Structure 1
Amino acid sequence: MKKILGICLFILLQSCDSELHGLEKPENLIPKDQMITLMTDMLILEGHIQTTYSTVNRYYKVMTASGRDYLKSKHITEKQYEDSFMYYTSMHEEYKLMLDKVMENLQKESIELQKKT
């Protein structure tokens, strides 16, 4: 869970880049609720891969392929995800609220997993 929080903090800090202000809304923008779900699932996927593979090289390759496959299963292109991600990160307050929702989703998932064990 600490790793996931660290990743979220890193993403939040990256979004504070002044060059990102004022990005235009992409035509292929993923709706906010769907983007929150995608971000939650991608962090869960990354957490699983990170604990499974110890070397960075292998981790990177598996995460890239798995992330690509996950997006494809949701009928979303990598470009659409990246464009949407960049757009949302340029809107600092809204993005912070999105991250709060992602963290809430992760906490719910954690509670559900604990109940099953």
Structure 2
Amino acid sequence: MKNFFCILFCLSLLGCKSHNEQRPDNLIPEEQMVRILADIHTTEALIESNVIYPDTALMVFNKKQGEILERHGVSQEAFKTTYDYYLEHLDEMNQLYETVVDTLSMRETKVQLKEGKAPDVPEPTEPQLQ
């Protein structure tokens, strides 16, 4: 019986965690967060393709991420707070990353056009007749 009350107490503590449904005022605006994440993922891909050693890659990435945040006028703390908010609100995170992926695709298309290459466009699929 004592174990039952112990388990019940632990479960009640887990249920007490509150999720603040309101967006905090100090979040980085969505458009700016998209640009920051797109820059971070672009930098990450460049580092991953050019740096052989994982430890070196991590050090370079951390330095570059700090430079990206500085360029956008955002502190590391504000970025972490905003990212943590999105981790707790996965629907909003999905929407945010849909925009990030679109942004990265647009950047890739611009680079391809600059290089004189035809952009990679998926072929339209015909509807299946039943």
- Do Structure 1 and Structure 2 share a fold, with TM-score over 0.5? yes
Deviation of 1:102 after TM superposition, in Å, equals 0.6
Q: Structure 2 length normalisation: TM-score?
A: 0.69
Out of 13, 17, 22, the residue aligned to residue 19 of structure 2 is 22
Q: Which has the larger radius of gyration?
A: 2
What displacement does 1:76 show?
0.8
Describe how 1:83-94 pairs up with structure 2 within 5 A. 83-94=81-92
Q: Structure 1 stretches (4+) deviating beyond 3 angstroms?
A: 23-27
- The two structures, once aligned, show a CA RMSD in angstroms of 1.8
Gapped regions of structure 2 (runs ≥ 5) = 1-16, 116-130
2:38–2:100 CA contact under 8 A, matched in 1: yes
Using the TM superposition, give the Cα deviation of residue 104 of structure 1 relative to its aligned residue in structure 2, in angstroms: 0.6
Q: Could you tell me which residue of structure 2 aligns to residue 116 of structure 1? A: 114
Structure 1 unpaired stretches of 5+: 1-19
Counterpart Cα distance in 2 of 1:74 and 1:107 = 21
Q: How many equivalent pairs are there? A: 98
- When normalised by structure 1's length, the TM-score is 0.76
Q: Which amino acid aligns with 1:30?
A: I
**1:35-74 equivalence runs, <5 A:** 35-74=33-72
Higher helix share: 1
CA deviations 1:39-63 (Å, max 9, x no partner) are: 1111011111111101101100000
Equivalent in the alignment of 2:102: 104
Question: 1:88 Cα deviation (Å)?
Answer: 1.5
